Structure 1
Amino acid sequence: MDLLLRNRGAMIFLMLNLFLAMAAFGLVVPVMPEYINMLGLDGTTAGLLTAAFAVTQFLISPYAGKLSDRGGRKKIIVIGMLILAISELIFAVASNVTWLYISRLLGGIGIAFVSPAVMAYAADLTTERERARGMSYVAAALSTGFIVGPGIGGFLAEFGTRVPFYAAAAGAGTAAILTLFVLPEIKGKAEQVNTENEVGIFKGLIQSIKAPYVATLIVLLALGFALSNFETVFGLYLDDGYGYSASQIAVIITVGGIAGVVVQLGLMDLLVGKLGEYKVILYSLLVTALSIPALILTDSYWGIMIVTVIIFSACDILRPAASTYLSKQAGDNDQGYVAGLNSSYNSIGTIIGAALAGVLFDMGLILPYIAAGFILLICFAYFAAKRKAKPKTAKAK
């Protein structure tokens, strides 16, 4: 019997934890406009709250992963879910912006604990042959949580603005308790990790500037920037510009997210097979660069939904294409290193995009989307000009 099949109960718990963690992150989007109005805040604050979440996740993730190697995956998952539960509870009862910042900082720490530990646990549960299948289950839980989170937030907000966060706190706390008593502890694979080439986060970023694949990393940074710029103030834009309710905003985001996943699953292999990763990256960059500013050209609910579907679909094609292309450019010996750079560049883009989105929104509702489109167009031109960095061909062994 397959190792993955024998451990399906543990895999279900891993998927549950990651689903709840990402849903808790996503449900704030449609509810944020009401929180901003209720506490008398502005778009800049909304952007900085998102950036605060991303900063702690970026800084803590590498160390949380190492802790899970040394102290056990289960403990780190439980601690992370408890931190996340506390974060959501603080957001639910917060009466001023200081507590909102504390909540988001803790939320980033919680996600930073849960995500790498779940990924590592899933790897421990599978053989090398089953690894891709096991990771696909975990990735599906992550994507599903992010997609349905805004929908859950919009639905629960009908019963009160703070209700979604009480529900998220209860869900995360329950998952932590169940994980503590039901999920077995597991030791990591008895493989020695080579630490000779390990470098710190910031030293690695500096070194990457001279790497032949830096253009692809810049694409991932620009994508993180544009998506964060788009998503951070999307709810505020629809609320201030059109007076949409939390549930209406949630429907748009959920439909866009589902459409993106469907397009990715249905077209990704076909497009890469026909065009190759480079052209897929180039074309999806252009589509994203043009579609984000297109939001300001439509004022109908269905028009906004269609544009949102295009944005999510293009991004869901762009991200895996860029990640695959980066992996091929790096060669066989640097896969772990470039995977870390992939995450770091995306996180930096997310932090900058979120912080800038709020500032630009306060200056003018449409400015974040113009900025996102402008940055992506520059990235498109840069990536087209850097075609020289071609993928390495792995040597035959």
Structure 2
Amino acid sequence: MKKNINRMIIMMFLCMVIYNLGHPGTPDLIQMRGWKKSISGEFLAFMSTAMFISSPYLGALADRFGMKRIFVLMPFFYGIAQLIFGFATSIPIIFLARIIAGFVSGGTFAVAFGYVSQLSEKEEKAKNIAKISSAIVIGGAIGQKIGGIVATVDPRYSFGLQFICGGILSLFILVFMREIINRREVIKKLENTLDIKNNKSLNPFLTFRYIKELDGFSKFFGVIIFLSGIGIYSYASALNYFFKFYEKVSADTIGTFVMCSSLLAFLGTGFLLEKLLKKFKEKSIHKIMIFIGIILMSAIFFRIKSGITPYFIMAVYTMSYEIVRSLGNTIIARRYAENQGKILGMVSAADSLGNAIGSYLSGHLLAFNPFLPFIVNIGIMAVVLILIERRVSKIFYKLKI
């Protein structure tokens, strides 16, 4: 069991290396094509909307047919989507590529978290989910650094590299990953899907029905994750473009900053969070990290022109919000014993919908004023903290009654 969890952590790390190769070169690609700056947010919004639809859907399919069967396809199709994005010139085709990439990304996260959660004992879920989050962070850091170096030659090359590496990784998953449900059970489930009535359940828009199946607290916390996604990504999605268009730094420099901040986030999710979980409950840590994030973002906003200081604060902020996102998965996953792919897919869906809105806002906020993404982040995360506190206060009030 532990061996299978470790294999998934390694594969997810490699996925994130590949999935992040293109990010540092995207601002240069936009500049090369002569597109408007705000299109960056529109690209991310389309991608994130597809993630919203696909996360619970592909998570549910993985629960039903086998996690490996779904996961093995993800890197290959992501590579195809990125190849189209990097080399196509037609705007409609490029938006289609963003949708495909988002659909695949949603499935990747849902299956990875669901796989690890399903294999973990209840008391081990938080730790193992944090390990997946750490793999995502560190893989993303290395991917962005490599992508930044490649993009300095030609931004399109990093997207071609994603295609090549995505195909290779799918072969690795096919050979080295292990399925976690009985083969006879898989065959039986596959036979059942030949029935027309059962095929209706393969409709990806059942995401909306899945959300209704959550209990009251999970629905509330889904809203918290959604709003947090808007707050986090209205800033995070604008950051590379803020560096490129307003700080005038190179793609390689962007990759270096992202790598350093992601390494700090890795230390947070991989080591600091584990120590905090021994002393505090997940919900308490979640609230504290949101509060710390608000303080850090305020410090960045007021010291944006103070040498390297804001860059260090940005890196610490990255650590805080990665811990918040990791805990969001754990808090909901612990409430359910089965269908981990679907349940954690819904968590990813809430995050992705927030990502979509935040990313769409980021481009327009950045085009209007380079400091607006920072202000919006502070405002929305403050609202999130107030909502959590009010919910907790209501629970305590009911208990007193």
Partner residue, 1:176:
170
Contact 1:21 1:84 in 2 (8 A): no
Alpha-carbon displacement from aligned partner over 1:212-236 (angstroms, at most 9, x marks no partner) = 4555333322221122212211111
Partner residue, 2:297:
292
Letter in 1 for 2:80: I
Equivalence map 1:293-372=2 (5 Å): 293-296=298-301, 297-300=303-306, 302-326=308-332, 330=335, 339-372=344-377
Partner residue, 1:394:
none
Aligned partner of residue 248 in structure 1, secondary structure: helix
Shift of 1:17: 4.3
Contact 2:78 2:105 in 1 (8 A): yes
Query: CA distance change for structure 1 residues 160 and 332 in 2, over 3 Å: closer, same or farther?
Result: closer
1:25 and 1:306 map into 2 onto residues whose CA distance is 25
Partner residue, 1:395:
none
Contact 1:80 1:112 in 2 (8 A): no
Shift of 1:40: 1.6
1:188 aligns with 2:181: yes
1:121 and 1:278 map into 2 onto residues whose CA distance is 23
2:383 and 2:277 map into 1 onto residues whose CA distance is 23
Shift of 1:354: 0.8
1:228 aligns with 2:221: no
Letter in 1 for 2:264: A
TM-score calculated relative to the size of structure 1: 0.80
Contact 2:57 2:345 in 1 (8 A): no
Alpha-carbon displacement from aligned partner over 1:196-252 (angstroms, at most 9, x marks no partner) = xx99432454576x8245553333222211222122111111112210111111111
2:355 and 2:224 map into 1 onto residues whose CA distance is 13
**Larger relative contact order (CA 8 Å, sep ≥ 6):** 2
Partner residue, 1:148:
142
Partner residue, 1:42:
36
1:384 aligns with 2:377: no
Out of 227, 247, 250, the position equivalent to 1:242 is 247
Shift of 1:344: 2.8
Q: What number of residue pairs does the alignment pair up?
A: 378
Partner residue, 1:88:
82
1:79 aligns with 2:73: yes
Partner residue, 1:252:
257
Partner residue, 1:158:
152
Shift of 1:122: 6.1
Query: CA distance change for structure 1 residues 122 and 217 in 2, over 3 Å: closer, same or farther?
Result: closer
Alpha-carbon displacement from aligned partner over 1:148-203 (angstroms, at most 9, x marks no partner) = 221121121122211211111110012224444x347747245999x9xx994324
Partner residue, 2:192:
none
Single out whichever of 115-124 and 266-275 deviates more from structure 2: 115-124
Single out whichever of 371-380 and 314-323 deviates more from structure 2: 314-323
Aligned partner of residue 299 in structure 1, secondary structure: coil
Single out whichever of 42-51 and 368-377 deviates more from structure 2: 42-51
Contact 2:56 2:210 in 1 (8 A): no
Gaps of 5+ in 2: 190-197, 397-401
Aligned partner of residue 308 in structure 2, secondary structure: helix
Letter in 1 for 2:41: G
Query: CA distance change for structure 1 residues 92 and 355 in 2, over 3 Å: closer, same or farther?
Result: same
Letter in 2 for 1:288: G
1:65 and 1:214 map into 2 onto residues whose CA distance is 18
Contact 2:19 2:162 in 1 (8 A): no
Aligned partner of residue 244 in structure 1, secondary structure: coil
Instruction: Among all aligned residue pairs of Structure 1 and Structure 2, give the percentage whose two residues are the same amino acid.
Output: 20
1:322 and 1:115 map into 2 onto residues whose CA distance is 13
